[in-house]
Amino acid sequence: MSVIVNEIRRATYLDSIVLMRLSRQIAALPGVEEAGLITGTAANKDILRDAGILGPEGETAAPGDLILALRAIDAAAGAAALAEAKRLLDRPAVPGAPVSADSPRTLRAAVRDMPDANLALISVPGDFAVAEARKALDLGLHAMVFSDNVPIAEEAALKREARARGLMVMGPDCGTAIIAGLPLAFANVVPRGDIGIVGASGTGIQEISCLIARAGRGVSHAIGTGGRDLKAEVGAITTLMAIDALDADAATAHVVLVSKPPAAAVARLVLDRVGRSAKPFTICFIGAADLPLPANARAAPTLKAAAELALGRPLATRPLDLTSVQTARGGSVRGLFAGGTLCTEAQIVFIAAGLPVASNVPVPGAATVNGATVGHVMIDLGDDAFTRGRPHPMIEPAVRDAPLAAALADPGVGVILLDVVLGYGAHPDPAGHLAQALAGRRDGAVIVASVTGTDADPQPRSEQVAKLEQAGVMVADSNADAAALAMALASPAARQRGAAAQ
């Protein structure tokens, strides 16, 4: 009979990425059915309660406590898993590294140790993020706030306060930045260059910067803003400050803006500021149409197009022979994405070719768009609906295993479209995991993928591509190319439209 085991660690904090990695390891222990490692906020308790792993002890946790919660097949498995989980929690973050009693425990102490620092990276539960960011501002530091679950009114107030001090707040929920060549959070290793990026999209920044790097150019700075910066409530405070910074930066010759479509009034505000710059801009408000652009700006419908406009030339594309690849199954495409903006870009490619596509619907099965039944479905597995209490698929690729198995088992799915995102923070071998998940399959579905990354990343891109190709996956040069390839393979009638979309 299943048992629930909880342990509370009072007044204990670990970075959210560390918690997600440890949760993944604990969930994989023998006899464990479900597991979570999370701070004891009310919202997090709801997550554990919904997952069926919160016990009476966990209910007593305070917001500053850490809850270790798991459900095991029986009491013996629960006790063994708890012992191993405690060992994982107690070991140093870096294998072989000593635990130092001298490590700074406050921002003020850290500044004393690093008096030349000018940026604080904040990754604490959302309930505490704004307070820590204000401490950073008080110390004269810019702040990158990785934390999410911050009320939007508090975000706006924090950014207004920072602007008044001449400081920048990236975030909350800012997952990617590259500052002076240094990758922060989920970012890739790309060379320094003269193209600047301002992005409300983490995977959008990653895809564009990697395409630029693989084309032989580099990035001056990639400034993340947080996903809500261009909403009306915030008013693009960080985006405008980032434009100011890159406009004044002598090392930046071209600026790319990437975001989902902003509020109309905010878009006008941003584009007015762009028009006052002497530098060329590429605007990738992905999914937006008919933007009234200033003379120094050009619109890019996709991330690939944004990279090409910034480079001033088309990207080289490896030719892929479609004639020898035939799907023996249905004509629908199932997209299973780790990157939300990559998922959106794939939808844009389909829509541009006149093909209806649904997003984030229950699978397997068809979906409805404007009253018509469609079989093409794109799912962002990094969406909150899929990650509540669980690791993000960029950290734990096993999150995609069940939806992938469902797609493989669905005879109506002819092509499965995937993204693999590399870089700091990401899983050490996502392609290897995917190859294992596909091992021994006997079906007619074609697997198409893109790999966002560079050979300088901790997971060299060329090695990841080779693993996928050895597993029978067709790997395209960009996410947009992968979407067009999937579309062409699923529908012979769409081959010409798919080629044009590339």
Lowest mean pLDDT, pick from 195-204, 354-363, 376-385: 354-363
Q: What is the pLDDT of residue 94?
A: 47
332-501 folds as Rossmann fold (3.40.50)
- How many other C-beta atoms lie within 10 A of the C-beta of residue 261? 14
Q: What is the pLDDT of residue 20?
A: 76
pLDDT exceeds cutoff 70 at 368: no
The pairing of strands 3-9 and 32-39 is unpaired
Give the side-chain half-sphere CA count within 13 A for 28: 12
For the stretch 402-424, what's the b/e string if a residue is b when 16 or more beta carbons lie within 10 angstroms of its beta carbon? ebbeebbebeebbbbbbbbbbbb
Give 101's DSSP letter. T
Residue located via tokens 């012992």: 83
Q: Which tens digits make up the pLDDT trace of 408-439?
A: 988 889 999 999 999 998 999 999 999 999 98
Q: Give the pLDDT band (50/70/90) at residue 496.
A: very low
The mean pLDDT value of the chain amounts to 88
CATH architecture of 106-173: 3-Layer(aba) Sandwich (3.40)
Kind plus residue range of the DSSP H or E element containing 498:
helix 495-501
Q: What is the pLDDT of residue 1?
A: 83
Q: What is the pLDDT of residue 389?
A: 62
CB of 297 closer than 8 Å to CB of 280: yes
Q: Where are the domains of the chain?
A: 3-90, 106-173, 174-316, 332-501
Q: Where is pLDDT greater, at 170 or 501?
A: 170
Query: Can you tell me the mean pLDDT for 163-175?
Result: 96
Q: Give the pLDDT band (50/70/90) at residue 103.
A: confident
CB of 218 closer than 8 Å to CB of 188: no
Please give the angle made by the CA atoms of 285, 221 and 118, to the nearest 5 degrees.
120
Residue located via tokens 């990026």: 197
Q: What is the pLDDT of residue 385?
A: 73
Q: Which tens digits make up the pLDDT trace of 308-343?
A: 999 999 998 887 766 666 555 678 999 999 999 999
What percentage of the chain reaches a pLDDT higher than 90? 67
Q: How far apart are CA 177 and CA 173, in angstroms?
A: 12
The runs of H, that is alpha helices, within 51-125 are 56-59, 75-90, 107-113
Query: Can you tell me the mean pLDDT for 187-207?
Result: 97
pLDDT exceeds cutoff 90 at 492: no
183: cis peptide before it, omega within 30°? no
Which of 3.30.1360, 1.10.10, 3.90.1200, 3.30.70 is the CATH number of 3-90?
Answer: 3.30.70
369 pairs with which residues across the strands?
372
Q: Where is pLDDT greater, at 236 or 389?
A: 236
Backbone Cα Rg of the chain: 23
Q: What is the pLDDT of residue 325?
A: 66
Instruction: Specify the CATH number of the domain 174-316.
Output: 3.40.50.261
Q: Which tens digits make up the pLDDT trace of 11-41?
A: 887 776 677 778 878 888 999 998 888 888 8
The closest alpha carbon to 262, from 272, 247, 275, 252, belongs to: 272
Please indicate whether the domains covering 174-316 and 332-501 agree at the CATH topology level.
yes
